[in-house]
Amino acid sequence: MADSWSSSGWDVHLDWRPGSGRQGLADAVRRAVRDGRLGPGTALPSTRALAKDLGIARGTVTRVYADLTVEGYLRTSQGAPTRVAAVSSPSSLKEKAGPRAAPWVPDARWDLYPGRPDLSSFPRAAWLSATRRVLQEAPASVFDYGDQHGSAVLREALARYLSRSRGVLAEPDRIIVCGGFSHGLSALARVLHERGDAEVAFENPSLPQFRDHVTRAGLEVVAVPVDEHGLRVSELDSPAVVVTPAHQYPLGVTLAPERRTALARWATGTGGLAIEDDYDGEFRFDRRPVGALQALAPERVVYAGTVSKTLAPALRIGWLVLPRFLVEPVRAALADTGWRPPVVDHLVLAEMLNSGAYDRHVRQRRLAYRRRRDRLLSLLPPGITAVGISAGLHVLLLLPAGLSEEQVVRAALRESVAIDGLGRHWFGEAERLPGVVLGYATPAEHAFGPAIETLMKVITP
């Protein structure tokens, strides 16, 4: 049962449950700030007074206040009460928000557009603590231009992390850190074009913006069908292919074991190259994540990963684990763009990987996203079918006959809900399934319930 507190002469209702501990109290105060029940400048009770009112340890309240101050919800000053910082409420978000994190997302109050994590879950305190440690210990040389491979410290940390978490064969000297998957794919496409390749295959369906990166490098893109078992490897007839074997985007299936073997055999036997986009491999909910394809043919598979789904896309940190023959060509291609690695951010990420903070954050988000997916599926009306494995940050909903995805997307936007249609992901018009792609991870925690409830009104006959 939710409690309320009365202290220092004012009343505020908190959605707080006794026994929920430090995290429960922190979440309750965050919601009160976001909902406007605690407006900017409001003075909070002293830690002693609030602890007494709630019947909990004063140290718990002190730590909650400290955490929320680091996150930007509260502000403190010497000799003055702790006050609420100027945090925008949902009702004022549309008027006060600056440029969107993803400019291609339709302007809507409820954001269920796929491709991003819950940005409000970014581990600010852990990132800040890691930054402090890095700046306290790092030599002055870290502020110079960095190694074009990426920080050696980060590459070593990634090699250990990828080996134990994804089964990747990842020696540090085979890792190049880039500015995200798009950045790395563009460099790879340039290298493939320069070595004489004419085309790159993509799964059908797949993200069109990634196909665009390849065509801008002068390569043709060709389609290879995907079914319930993943990429149809037997229909592959190109020198290179971009695949999402752990969790195909956007259909949500996983590449079947026999096809994983067949793809590795194809790459080894033909001299082909498989580019493995492991965009959300950490987020498998119903079992341990499937290991990376790369380990089956490390000299013919490029493994690509980023922190865009685990931490935040704004960090622009990704990595390629390359066959040895591609390390120097790809490094040179990245260098030719004028890009230089952000060394300090790389060291901070390495610190989080080495300290275990990154793993803890991933485990927390895995649990949160699983709960969101389960809740979404439990509310689906008859006739709407969810497709794909229990994993990731998105789900594909297939629509019944008579209900087009264009109708659903437009109707959702009229209710200020942003979703994506499946149609734009296909090559051509043949064999299209009507569906919509939902990013259930995207909304902040306080917005997820209202967003889903509004969407259900749109898709319920």
Q: Would you say 175 and 319 are in contact if contact means Cβ atoms under 8 Å apart?
A: yes
pLDDT tens for each residue of 133-163: 999 999 998 898 888 778 999 999 999 999 9
In CATH terms, 110-121+361-459 corresponds, of 3.30.420.40, 3.90.1150.10, 3.30.390.30, 3.30.56.10, to 3.90.1150.10
| Confidence at residue 103, expressed as pLDDT on a 0 to 100 scale | 64
Is the predicted pLDDT of residue 453 greater than 80, yes or no?
yes
pLDDT above 70 for 380: yes
395's tokens: 């789900």
**Cα–Cα separations (whole angstroms), residue 293 to 149, 171, 246, 304:** 23, 16, 8, 11
Confidence of residue 51 (pLDDT cuts 50, 70, 90): confident
Average of pLDDT values for 303-321? 97
Please, which pLDDT band fits residue 12 given cuts at 50, 70 and 90? low
- pLDDT > 70: what percent of the chain? 92
pLDDT digits (tens, 9 = 90+) for 175-229: 999 999 999 999 999 999 999 999 999 999 999 999 999 999 999 999 999 999 9
Whether the per-residue pLDDT at 94 is higher than 50: the answer is no
Residue 105: its pLDDT value, please? 78
Rounded to the nearest angstrom, the gap between the alpha carbon of residue 41 and the centroid of all alpha carbons in its chain is 33
> What average pLDDT does the segment 285-290 reach?
89
CA-closest candidate to residue 113, choices 412, 365, 434, 446: 412
Residue 273: φ, ψ to 5°? -125, 125
Residue 3 has pLDDT above 60, yes or no: no
313 backbone dihedrals φ, ψ, rounded to 5°:
-65, -25
Please tell me the predicted confidence (pLDDT) of residue 404: 86
Please check the confidence at residue 294 and state whether its pLDDT lies above 90: yes
Tokens representing 413 are 């936007």
Mean pLDDT of 94-109: 60
Contact 209, 184 (CB under 8 A): no
- Residue-range domain boundaries for the chain: 3-95, 110-121+361-459, 125-358
Q: Which CATH architecture has domain 3-95?
A: Orthogonal Bundle (1.10)
- How many Cα neighbours within 13 Å face the side chain of 302? 29
Q: Is the pLDDT of residue 165 over 50?
A: yes
* Percentage of the chain lying above the pLDDT 90 cut: 68
Please provide the distance, in angstroms rounded to a whole number, between the alpha carbons at the two ends of the chain. Answer: 34
The answer on pLDDT for 306 being more than 50 is: yes
Residue 438: beta bridge partners? 395
Could you tell me which residue, 360 or 99, shows the higher pLDDT? 360
Comparing 30-34, 115-119, 383-387, the range with the smallest average pLDDT is 30-34
Name the residue among 259, 201, 207 with its Cα closest to residue 228. 259
Looking at residue 288, what is its pLDDT?
87
Q: Give yes or no for a contact between 347 and 134, defined as CB atoms under 8 angstroms apart.
A: yes
* Partners of 6 in the β-ladder: 11
- Indicate the pLDDT class of residue 67, thresholds 50, 70 and 90: confident
- Give the pLDDT band (50/70/90) at residue 13: low
* Average pLDDT taken over every residue of the chain: 90
How much is the pLDDT for 78?
78
The better pLDDT of the pair 57, 4 is held by: 57
What's the rounded Cα separation, in Å, for the pair 336 and 183?
A: 12
Predicted local distance difference test score (pLDDT) of residue 37: 78
Cβ–Cβ < 8 Å for 278, 305 = yes
Confidence of residue 38 (pLDDT cuts 50, 70, 90): confident
Residue 8's pLDDT band (cuts 50, 70, 90): very low
391-409 mean pLDDT: 92
pLDDT higher at 92 or 215: 215
Asked if pLDDT for residue 92 goes beyond 50, the answer is: no
| CA separation for the pair 47, 244 (Å, rounded) | 49
pTM value surpassing 0.85: no
What are phi and psi for residue 3, nearest 5 degrees? -105, 165
95: confidence class by pLDDT, cuts 50, 70, 90: very low
pLDDT tops 60 at residue 98? no
pLDDT of residue 338: 86
Contact 272, 266 (CB under 8 A): yes
The predicted pLDDT at position 327 comes to: 96
* Domain 125-358: assigned CATH number: 3.40.640.10
Residues 383, 432: Cα–Cα separation, whole Å? 18
Confirm if 5 and 12 have CB atoms less than 8 A apart: yes
For residue 7, the model assigns a pLDDT of: 47
What residues does 75 pair with on adjacent strands? 83
- On the question of pLDDT at 309 being above 90, the answer is yes
403 pLDDT band (50/70/90 cuts)?
confident
Number of residues that make up the chain: 461
